[in-house]
Structure 1
Amino acid sequence: MFQQPSDREIRDRLKQIRRIAVVGLSPNPTRPSYRVSSRMQRWGFEIVPVRPAVTSVLDSPAFGSLAEVPGQIDLVNVFRNASELDVIVDDCIALNLPALWIQQGIINESAAARAQAAGIWVVMDRCLMVEYNRLCL
């Protein structure tokens, strides 16, 4: 069963994160993924877009999959349909990624629980930007 981390755990983890891979980051400035990622970027985080068929978003090179992202990923932030979470969790497990943030409105309890069981720190159905603003600023 999925367990949401406490506010304290979220705050402590967010203070350690510097590089965020954003799965589903849209190049459209009106989309939530763009607005959230742009704000996180302004707050000093390195944003790594993970979206096939685009070359860059927010002046950062885009990658077709998590496996293609070079270097360390501190957090995977997901802006995809809940039905796609199982594949994303599979990738996170295979790549031994430490943390997964599933954005507000995206709920897949079994995928989140599976990620936690594999040792991945998970937040689900919360907005990264809102929580960072609330807990860390």
Structure 2
Amino acid sequence: MSEYGDTETVRRILTEDGDTWAVVGLSGNRARAAYGVAALLQRLGKRVVPIHPKAETVHGEQGYASLAEVPFPVDVVDVFVNSGLAGAVADQAVAAGAKAVWFQLDVVDADAYRRTTDAGLDMVMNRCPAIEAPRLGLI
């Protein structure tokens, strides 16, 4: 598989693209990767907005059932759903005016990557902020 998102793009998303991150797939389930990554994002100073059908409050932040229901601007959309569903989420991120989309480890959709970057957004796929932030010396 080719690499989607170079180090410069990863750094820009983590440091420059904005501090409000919608985490799609984030619920109150502490055993899920999204829960731990969201906590790390908060330690980096990000506001984490949980997006999950249950619309649970997680890490002290009100959840929403869909990205379209968030009543304020979102800068980055971090995607923890499977690759088959991720492309639609990327399209929703573009429609919502996000600046960047981040597909987590094992989430890959080359067509979504093309559509999202063609729309002018930063995007990385098959990466995790919990791995990239320490690698870049951000924590």
Distance 1:129 1:54 in 2: 23
Q: Is there any run of 5+ residues in structure 2 with no aligned partner, and where? A: none
The one-letter amino acid paired with 1:80 is V
Within 5 Å, give how 1:1-137 maps onto structure 2: 4-16=4-16, 17-135=18-136, 136-137=138-139
Q: 1:35-86: per-residue Cα shift (whole Å, max 9, x none)?
A: 1111211232110001112331111100011111122211000000100022
Q: CA RMSD in A?
A: 1.6
Preserved CA contact (<8 Å) 1:21 1:47: yes
Greater mean deviation of Cα atoms: 91-100 or 4-13 = 4-13
Describe the SS at the equivalent of 2:105.
coil
Describe the SS at the equivalent of 2:91.
helix
How far off its partner does 1:6 sit?
Answer: 2.3
**Number of aligned residue pairs:** 136
How far off its partner does 1:3 sit?
Answer: 6.6
Preserved CA contact (<8 Å) 2:74 2:96: no
- Which of structure 1's runs of 4+ aligned residues deviate more than 3 A? none
The one-letter amino acid paired with 1:128 is P
- 1:54–1:12 distance in 2 versus 1, CA, 3 Å: closer
Distance 1:9 1:43 in 2: 17
Greater mean deviation of Cα atoms: 49-58 or 75-84 = 49-58
Preserved CA contact (<8 Å) 1:3 1:113: no
Distance 1:30 1:46 in 2: 21
Work out the percentage of aligned pairs sharing the same amino acid: 34
The one-letter amino acid paired with 2:93 is C
**TM superposition score normalised by structure 1:** 0.90
**TM superposition score normalised by structure 2:** 0.89
Distance 1:5 1:106 in 2: 13
